[in-house]
Amino acid sequence: MKAMGLVVLYIGIETSLSGKNISVIVISLAIGTIIGEILDIDNSINKFGKFLENKIAANNENSKFSEGFVTTSILFCAGAMGIVGSLQAGLNGSGDTLLAKTLIDGIVACIFTTSLGYGVIFSSLSVILYQGIFVLLAGALSNILGENIIDSISAVGGIIILGMGINLLTNSNIKVANMVLAIFIPIIFGVFKIL
């Protein structure tokens, strides 16, 4: 997993360098993270995952399949990399982050399949639906937003991915899920032509 952490760190660094307007990036990260901390998105995602896991496992004889499906669906969908990659794919046609995420998820899925069974494979349906919605929404916004705002969205996302990489490589607990809303703040700047 440390090797995957290095890959995620590299993607975060590369993606974060795309931003040209540092003011938008800093303000977006500050506002988005404050809102995320107040809402405690990280904790909510964890609670929701546990709720689904307990609900499905308790009501289903084939709980191993359900546990594998729910656990990996949440694992693969909850991260910032999927949101950032989907936004990049929809806004500027770059599928690099999604491709890297797919490769990493594939490796992790192989590991989880050995202990959680075939439900892990079916979690790919959740991921495709989830990321597909973000790609389509971002594609619809791409005509409205300017290149600088799209670059700022990518840069903010890259910084969040950088946090994920640090979490994978160290024992730190950067709550990147609490930062995810920061990705959407540059859209407000773009729509209202601020900064």
Q: What is the mean pLDDT of residues 152-178?
A: 88
Residue 103 has pLDDT above 80, yes or no: yes
81 touches 180 (CB < 8 A): no
170-181 confidence digits (pLDDT tens): 988 888 889 989
Q: What is the mean pLDDT of residues 27-38?
A: 97
Q: How far apart are CA 121 and CA 143, in angstroms?
A: 35
Residue 23 has pLDDT above 90, yes or no: yes
Residue 39 has pLDDT above 90, yes or no: yes
**Of the listed ranges 23-27, 71-75, 118-122, 156-160, the one predicted with least confidence:** 71-75
SS3 at position 7: helix
Among 11, 182, 9, 175, CA closest to 79? 175
Residue 51 has pLDDT above 90, yes or no: no
Question: Looking at residue 57, what is its pLDDT?
Answer: 60
Confidence of residue 133 (pLDDT cuts 50, 70, 90): very high
133 vs 146, which has greater pLDDT? 133
43 touches 136 (CB < 8 A): no
127 vs 71, which has greater pLDDT? 127
Q: How far apart are CA 20 and CA 165, in angstroms?
A: 22
Question: Looking at residue 129, what is its pLDDT?
Answer: 92
Question: Looking at residue 161, what is its pLDDT?
Answer: 86
4 alpha-carbon distance from chain centroid: 15
Residue 61 has pLDDT above 60, yes or no: no
Question: Looking at residue 48, what is its pLDDT?
Answer: 78
Question: Looking at residue 38, what is its pLDDT?
Answer: 97
Q: What is the pTM of this model?
A: 0.78
Confidence of residue 90 (pLDDT cuts 50, 70, 90): very high
